[in-house]
Structure 1
Amino acid sequence: MDHVSLLLVDDEQAILHMLKTVLLKEQFLDIDTVTTGEAALKACSNKTYHCIVLDIMLPGRSGLEICPFLRQVTDAPILFLTAKTTDYDKLTGFAVGGDDYVVKPFNPLEVVARIKSLLNRYLPSKASSVQQNNQKYVKTSSRNAPQGIYNYGRFQVHELAGELRVEGKAVTCPALVFQLLLFFCKHPNRIFTKSELYERVWGSEAISDDNTVMVHIHRIRERIEADPSNPIFLVNVRGLGYKLVQTGSEVQT
């Protein structure tokens, strides 16, 4: 794919060769490979990547250890490769800044599918189609300003700037976390199941995973809620799903 740069990080040359071969066949032409977390950090400091495939079990610092440092220099989606299958290990990957994961041994075509899904949410060229799909789903609340600023008092989401501000301060927000929050802002007070959220934000081609949605909701709450364990904005309606509460008292901008 033109103008898409990928970084593959794994200490097994056979895996790097297999993934690169399959990705080249899928027309991903700009692919870099490294074998350590330190090399990945250096690469991301010198070049802009649109997606990073990161093995957890690396020599030196593991993928989980290096991920927070990568997040300081790039907001590209990170797809973890892991031999660990417990929910705790997977949730740890999300907590340190990962966006998705694939469990080893894996089908390389699944990795390709997940990369495409992440890119669909990340690439600016895709943003307009995502917004159009969301508009078809339900009309944007008329209380929100046409400038694309969604004001909930404690926090504001600036769609065009791709910015979240909480109590007047800009807060860093990974691409998929921002997309999920923006989707909720466009559909206030409406309940969505986890599968609906995955389809609308991650895309119809994505492979549904309830844990992915739950972790991203938790990451939103960490940013917008005064007490994430007792949310008042992004709430769970037991047995039905999640909704972003708009009381009508928010300041229109």
Structure 2
Amino acid sequence: MKVLVVDDEKLLVKGIKFNLENEGYQVDSCHDGETAVQMARENSYDIIILDLMMPRVDGLEACQQIRSFSTVPIIMLTARSEDSDKLLGFESGADDYITKPFNILELKARIRALLRRASMPAAQAASSDVLTRGHLTLDPKRRNVKKDGAAVELTAKEFDLAELLMRNPGRVYSRDSLLNLIWGYDYQGDARTVDVHIRRLREKLEKVPASPEFIITKWGVGYFFAE
């Protein structure tokens, strides 16, 4: 597995690189967002660990630029714990975040969880049927989605969320249940994370995002996929 670690704190990068390489990962690194975007274009990474506050191009802008050409899972590192910063990270396309200072064991666990979701086990994928709902087609085996026959780029978490909802049309999921099912029971993030991902899914999958046909809000309860 190939990982890109991006942070202007060189000692932190060195420590992450050392620990991940001991786990068998191949690790590249850099110290600013501009270089990170260039490296992401020129290489095929399985996951990117990206700091929020960096010189030249910050983590938010770098994440947005990477998202314009790649769906690689991205973990955002931030020294600030405000919910607004975390939500901005998700808005820019990040799949997960960790607040500094963090335990390296937690980072490893987050990496494993994202990689596990991004590469569905072969046995599970082989038994998964293609889901078709109106103008949308979702292929769990290939982990791709098409809208009116055209491919739509989704992040790992967006795909997992879309698949869960499409597999269970009519079933209403609360924000907390979606956090547990998609992000994991040990996830400590804000429930508004779900709202951000739902909005992004609507923008990508619905013909008229402001008047969704499929991804519906059940006011005061949660979200469901129309039957």
Q: TM-score, normalised by structure 1?
A: 0.79
- State the Cα deviation string for residues 58-104 of structure 1 (Å, max 9, x = none): 11011111112212343211111112333332222112211111122
Q: Does 1:77 align with 2:58?
A: no
Q: Which amino acid aligns with 1:7?
A: L
2:183 paired residue number: 202
Q: Which amino acid aligns with 1:5?
A: K
Tell me if structure 2 keeps the 8 A contact 1:75–1:175. Answer: yes
Greater RCO (CA < 8 Å, at least 6 residues apart): 1
- State the Cα deviation string for residues 151-203 of structure 1 (Å, max 9, x = none): 22232223334322223332222222112101111111112222322333334
2:160 paired residue number: 179
1:14 to 11, 15, 24: 11
Tell me if structure 2 keeps the 8 A contact 1:22–1:109. Answer: no
Closer, same or farther: CA 153–60 of 1 in aligned 2, 3 Å: same
Q: Which runs of 5+ in 1 are unaligned?
A: 133-145, 247-253
State how 1:122-201 maps to structure 2 within 5 Å: 122-124=118-120, 126=121, 128-129=123-124, 148-201=129-182
2-structure distance, mates of 1:29, 1:147: 29
State how 1:64-103 maps to structure 2 within 5 Å: 64-103=60-99
1-structure distance, mates of 2:128, 2:8: 47
2-structure distance, mates of 1:112, 1:207: 16
Query: SS of the residue aligned with 2:110?
Result: helix
Q: Which runs of 5+ in 2 are unaligned?
A: none
CA-CA distance at 1:12 after TM superposition:
0.7
Q: Does 1:39 align with 2:39?
A: no
- State the Cα deviation string for residues 31-65 of structure 1 (Å, max 9, x = none): 11111122222322232111100011111011111
1-structure distance, mates of 2:2, 2:190: 26
RMSD over aligned CA atoms reads 2.5
Identity of aligned pairs, percent?
34
Tell me if structure 2 keeps the 8 A contact 1:114–1:207. Answer: no
Query: SS of the residue aligned with 1:84?
Result: coil
Deviates more, 1:43-52 or 1:65-74: 65-74
2-structure distance, mates of 1:127, 1:239: 38
Query: SS of the residue aligned with 2:173?
Result: coil
Deviates more, 1:149-158 or 1:54-63: 149-158
1-structure distance, mates of 2:43, 2:191: 33
Closer, same or farther: CA 243–29 of 1 in aligned 2, 3 Å: same
Rg bigger for which structure? 1
Tell me if structure 2 keeps the 8 A contact 1:80–1:93. Answer: yes
Closer, same or farther: CA 147–21 of 1 in aligned 2, 3 Å: closer
1:241 paired residue number: 222
Closer, same or farther: CA 165–29 of 1 in aligned 2, 3 Å: closer
Q: Which amino acid aligns with 1:199?
A: N
CA-CA distance at 1:226 after TM superposition:
3.1
Tell me if structure 1 keeps the 8 A contact 2:32–2:55. Answer: yes
CA-CA distance at 1:115 after TM superposition:
1.4
1:30 paired residue number: 26
Q: Which amino acid aligns with 1:159?
A: P
2-structure distance, mates of 1:23, 1:79: 14
